[in-house]
Structure 1
């Protein structure tokens, strides 16, 4: 009997192999890492109905991923400070390549492919001083590192593509010790939001007011018109009600969302993820510490919230936002309504990445 692998190999030898795309991996819409019941770690594909489309084992805890825009390839990043990123063929479940950062640097959990899939950008920092670096990788038969550019800040964490092909980087401002986790400069933080062109030249930069210098800019969502939503985590005195969502258009001043006091306190100073809704009209931020998801308009106006224990992962969904929690829940947030989509015997990690 002719196997699928043998059939494809024969076509490849004949120079007429069909293009392999995400349909060959079950047509997932999302990537999400999780810890399984036996303590193992894996990367999963999910469709918009919350169904699992593939599972690929990982050697350690994952954080976020990057999906190739055309080929069924995903890069799964380790939790920061990360010593590896796995390039996974999601169609056959095989790890095709293991990426490592240069000596003296660590991956910081996030990355993104360019719109045409020819380049991968990885978020990194130098171990000695936490200075931010964006790694540049060319995508051909495999990923090859071709250089790096400075992120223009300390402790970068997230990076997103802009509609014009440039990049926006969340420089969290936190320096860490030798283990990559101990925070060493909380009294001297200088987080920023930096816009770079595709070659790393600075296009714009946003620095928060000094009284918000301990709001670490962590995660990003980008609207089609170039508006950037940035989620923050407060490193100052506990119980301080500070904004955790900022909105920015290049060339303008940032808008900081101001929820009611009770809502601000309910987040415990921590926004773990951010997503633009499927209709593009609102942003949501999550707090696993507060067990809460808050929703804001594109102008920063507070629209409402929902409570859910250990909720963190967020991604755009045609019906609103898809959310995951540490108890295995898959939820559709339709405005202020929560509709369960399913449950899996896993503890979902912090992020869902839309493909």
Structure 2
């Protein structure tokens, strides 16, 4: 894949972009197999590849430049804005909205935040597109000062972008290298973006997590659903469940499913999805995955885990190892932490694994693994 930004040395995020995609996928598969080591009982299924471009459903754009000429992209070494509106990773729908968002920055007088001087207001613009082409826009500000102007000009933006459904302001007053803050102010009547995946409606709130590659996420959920259906467990926990992707795909009338997630917003979204799908035996709770497991009176037959890059906590690994859980479906975005966690749970043996290339042009990927107690 050719990228003019990479060729001009303006952006180096896609570290593998000069390598043919087939070679990328082969190298990632080798990396995953090496990380898990030689395991005679483990069967690797052929990796699930992605489109090379136009796959990212979310854009996290740092705002630079000036009110009159804002940049949407990244910052260079001197904290100056580098405009990346033509980046080939984003979906066509996200591409189409960038010029209108830049115009909105100017019209609403949203001064880009100047990191060296610590002045200005608008830090980041976050855009998410649903599979149906609808959009969520989040404006990350230093303070509430510009909110009145944003409200004033928002009807014009929504008229120009009829697919825009959810708009919010996120407040990040700290001078910190993070994307967003804790407080969110929703400016539209609609507060959730519907993410329809495999015929299941999931709902994304402004601060909820969703995989950035919708097509590959759909395949990931289908694979987990297939493995769980084969095992037919009567009870399932989905730990680190987010907006409920795995739980909603693996639930049904014949089994009890509980999803655990720290984000209250994500839990509210997952509960809405379960109600709409008629999954009366699929429920969700807000809380810490490790604390939930350690405090539960009994264990389920199967546990699904989808932890952050750091993997599972030591306590949760020890609990799984000593529990009566018969099978674990482990979705990992870091093969190294997956290998470490497997070493801490020797009685749960990997039987099947599959790589899902959620992040083409980079060295990152997702691995789904089915573990069975020996």
Q: Same fold (TM over 0.5)?
A: no
User: Given the two structures, how large is their TM-score scaled by the length of structure 2?
Assistant: 0.33
User: Given the two structures, how large is their TM-score scaled by the length of structure 1?
Assistant: 0.34
Higher relative contact order (CA 8 A, sep 6+): 2
The structure with the largest alpha-carbon Rg is 2
Structure number with the higher strand fraction is: 1
Structure number with the higher helix fraction is: 2
